[in-house]
Amino acid sequence: RKEVEQDPGPFNVPEGATVAFNCTYSNSASQSFFWYRQDCRKEPKLLMSVYSSGNEDGRFTAQLNRASQYISLLIRDSKLSDSATYLCVVNGYGSSNTGKLIFGQGTTLQVKP
């Protein structure tokens, strides 16, 4: 089982739609969780950190479910400019992974006019 798993998609949605991505992680001791956005042929950029209570930033909402070991990202009122790959990231924990972030392979979103 991969340490961080995401559905690669692509998710094709019309402008204005609400779309949700889920991500599961295997290490129950992980403590920090992030969503990054990566545009084609560019570097990943931090979208938001994910806090235990869930957090919202404009049209974006992130939630964490520790019991089920998954993280979600909800995008409301999708814009064309939201088209990108969304990376789920979890901090490593344990002798081989301490100090590292573990990146999922990403979920691709295509927003159509």
Partner 1 sequence: DGGITQSPKYLFRKEGQNVTLSCEQNLNHDAMYWYRQDPGQGLRLIYYSQIVNDFQKGDIAEGYSVSREKKESFPLTVTSAQKNPTAFYLCASSISGAGRYEQYFGPGTRLTVT
Give whole-number Cα distances, 55 to 13, 72, 74, in Å. Answer: 23, 11, 11
Which one among 20, 45, 59, 66 touches partner 1, defined by CB under 8 A? Answer: 45
User: Looking up tokens 């409301």, which residue turns up?
Assistant: 76
Q: Which is nearer to partner 1, 19 or 89 (CB)?
A: 89
CB 50, min distance to partner 1, A: 11
Contacts with partner 1 by CB under 8 A lie at 31-32, 34, 41-46, 49, 87, 91-93, 97-101, 103-106
